[in-house]
């Protein structure tokens, strides 16, 4: 059974004026996402600035999200790391905190071999015990899960059930789909490739866009899955200018800026993230207005 179908939001981690995690605001954001139609909450991912959260903050973010979600949608907790032992602790903490599933990124910086990746994912999946989504984002990690590796993991590890495909290579997506078949669900990890990946057999998206447009992102996926592919494609194309603006600087700088422009008061960033360039803020404002969000 799939963890979810539709739109899962890679939710931001809101901060207060002192740079501490704003857990009350996080609960508000979770409620707004569920009300807006989001089908799953992904906490402590890239968009959630997981690399700069302490282990204690990481666990409390998951606990807060689980409490706010109240079992209405799955809570998927990020737990990847470039240190396998640390990734194991994060996975175990996520399970104890009540997460429904794990999102495990490839170990960044180390540039593991495919053999090393298999060992890493098997160890973390075994420790976490929950259903696991592999997270492939080589542009950020310097490490790529090849289709054959994904297929072997799906066959050999019972609780590895899906992949978040943010490789940006539709040919690789197609090969993964061909090799894995029904053994591995595929989620788009890029908002500008939602419809292409659904056309390759994907069942949803883990989305940055959904932070600012939860209903539109959910509807786009469900229109496709329910058979209105022409309408889904039109929605994808309409969203492209906003998606481009949300990635005109490194994620999550633009999306947190967008939420603040929309009055959501999600605060600033943890260094080395920084405030957005003024020219790019103007681009973002224009895109939000044209999409009807400002």
> Helix 214-225 to helix 229-246 angle, to the nearest 10 degrees?
150
Active site (annotated) includes residue 264: no
Query: Which among 25, 118, 164, 256 is annotated as catalytic?
Result: 164
Active site (annotated) includes residue 135: yes
Query: Which among 23, 120, 135, 187 is annotated as catalytic?
Result: 135
Catalytic residues: 135, 164
């Amino acid at each position: 059974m799939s963890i979810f179908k539709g739109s899962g939001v890679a939710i931001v981690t809101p901060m207060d004026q002192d740079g501490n995690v704003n857990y009350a605001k996080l609960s508000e954001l979770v409620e707004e996402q569920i009300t807006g139609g989001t089908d799953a909450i992904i906490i402590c991912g890239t968009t959630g600035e997981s690399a700069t959260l302490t282990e204690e903050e990481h666990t409390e973010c998951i606990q807060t999200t689980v409490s706010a979600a109240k079992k209405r949608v799955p809570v998927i907790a990020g737990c990847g790391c470039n240190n396998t032992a640390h990734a194991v602790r994060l996975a175990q903490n996520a399970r104890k905190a009540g997460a429904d599933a794990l999102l495990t990124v490839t170990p960044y910086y180390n540039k593991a071999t495919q053999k090393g990746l298999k060992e890493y994912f098997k160890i973390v999946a075994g420790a976490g015990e929950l259903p696991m989504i592999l997270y492939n984002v080589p542009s950020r990690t310097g490490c790529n899960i090849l289709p054959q590796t994904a297929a072997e993991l799906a066959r050999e590890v019972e609780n590895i059930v899906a992949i978040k495909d943010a490789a940006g290579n539709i040919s690789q997506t197609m090969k993964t789909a061909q090799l894995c078949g029904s053994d591995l669900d595929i989620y788009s990890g890029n908002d500008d490739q939602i419809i292409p990946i659904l056309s390759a057999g994907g069942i949803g998206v883990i989305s940055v866009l959904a932070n600012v447009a939860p209903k539109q992102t959910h509807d786009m996926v469900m229109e496709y899955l329910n058979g209105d592919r022409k309408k889904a494609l039109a929605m994808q194309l309409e969203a492209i200018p906003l998606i481009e603006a949300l990635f005109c600087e490194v994620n999550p700088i633009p999306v947190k800026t967008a939420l603040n422009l929309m009055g959501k008061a999600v605060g600033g960033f943890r260094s080395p993230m920084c405030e957005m360039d003024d020219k790019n803020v103007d681009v973002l404002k224009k895109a939000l207005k044209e999409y009807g969000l400002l």
